[in-house]
Amino acid sequence: MKADAIEASDQQNDPDHNSLVNLPGELVLMIANYLDREYQLLLSLSCRRFRDLLDSSLDLTLEDDKEAKIRFLRLLELDHSEYLTCRPCGFMYLWKKRKYYQYTCPRGRHRHTMDDILKSYSQHIYGGDWGPMQVGRGVVDLILRAAEYGPAYGLPVSYLNKSGYRRGVSRMHEARVVNGQLMLASRHQFETATGQEMAELDRSHKPAVCFHATGVVGIEKVWQTFEKAVVNMTAADWSGSDVFKCPYCETDHQVRAKKEGNRTAIVLTVWRNYGRRHEHRLSTEQIFHRFPKFQLDASEVTQRNMHATFDYGLDVGEL
């Protein structure tokens, strides 16, 4: 009995001993059949025996299953932090060499379908003298990946913390990871002559709001609501505050205006929630969609408070 225990202990400590590898092929296939396809493929890469066994008995191709292919490539990212998987086309690329292009997929212009392009628009944030920074799916993935696995896997959340003054507009951007979600708060402040408020908002602030606020075919024009609110604030010679919640994505806008003599000061604050990395919520997926098809649940939009979530980490149920 003691000899059996010693032998078992020696096997456990033997680096060449692996209880899974030593199982009969029939049992390995039974186990593999319970795995998702991307994990089957990962198992097949672990050793030559499993590669021959699984490849001859299972369909391990992922070309026709893009979601499974992306999940598989993300598993590989854990051992290759210098690579990032493009969500639209499922291509792994060296993201650190893409800084000039804001870490976007190098095949974006040539290999992405039109549908992928329309669902993967980058937003732009502006600071001082530097040009616009693209905030696309790649940047969001890199920030969330670094927050989860460490700095070698992506970008620090402070990458989006930009501020500056340019062309009469003061801009400040601050990003935080709240409850595992990447959130960005942007504040834009300027002064203009009374009566020119919407012209100035249209010129320098439209890029600051979400894609759906300015209105596209078939989508409610939140921009018209902005216009009406600003007119009401300035006409009455008082300062006020209104929050406009996008019905298609998790973006809230707040506009404040204050009239002093023949000048009007306007502050536009925008809160965006890009969500978590390993989730597929309609509200965060559509933040990159130019033409979203589905409105969010009306009660969900009414109850959310992006400002409170950003400042205090509170969920809707805690407000």
Which pLDDT score, from 0 to 100, does residue 186 have? Answer: 93
Amino acid at 221: K
Residue 226 pLDDT exceeds 70: no
Which pLDDT score, from 0 to 100, does residue 218 have? Answer: 44
Report in angstroms the alpha-carbon separations of 217 from 89, 221, 228, 290. Answer: 27, 9, 20, 11
- Cβ atoms within 10 A of the Cβ of 263, count? 12
Which pLDDT score, from 0 to 100, does residue 316 have? Answer: 47
Which pLDDT score, from 0 to 100, does residue 138 have? Answer: 93
The residue count of the chain comes to: 319
Mean pLDDT on 205-218: 70
Residues above pLDDT 90, as percent of the chain: 28
Condensed to tens digits (0 to 9), the pLDDT of residues 120-147 reads 888 888 776 667 788 999 999 999 999 9
Condensed to tens digits (0 to 9), the pLDDT of residues 9-18 reads 444 455 555 6
Residue 100 pLDDT exceeds 90: no
Q: 3-class SS at 73? A: helix
- The residue among 242 and 148 whose pLDDT is bigger is 148
What is this structure's pTM?
0.79
Which pLDDT score, from 0 to 100, does residue 223 have? Answer: 65
The answer to whether residues 38 and 62 touch, using CB atoms and an 8 Å cutoff, is: yes
Condensed to tens digits (0 to 9), the pLDDT of residues 165-175 reads 877 788 899 99
DSSP letter at 19? T
Which pLDDT score, from 0 to 100, does residue 222 have? Answer: 59
Mean pLDDT on 244-248: 88
The answer to whether residues 240 and 228 touch, using CB atoms and an 8 Å cutoff, is: no
Question: Judging by beta carbons within 10 Å of its beta carbon (0-12, 13-18, 19+), is residue 4 exposed, middle or buried?
Answer: exposed
The answer to whether residues 309 and 178 touch, using CB atoms and an 8 Å cutoff, is: yes
- The residue among 5 and 215 whose pLDDT is bigger is 215
Please check whether the domain covering 2-57 is classified as CATH 1.10.3470. no
Condensed to tens digits (0 to 9), the pLDDT of residues 48-91 reads 788 788 878 877 777 677 788 888 888 889 999 999 999 888 88
Domain ranges of the chain: 2-57, 121-318
At 305, is the pLDDT very low, low, confident or very high (cuts 50, 70, 90)? very high
Which pLDDT score, from 0 to 100, does residue 101 have? Answer: 74
Q: In angstroms, rounded to a whole number, what is the distance separating the alpha carbons of residues 35 and 58?
A: 11
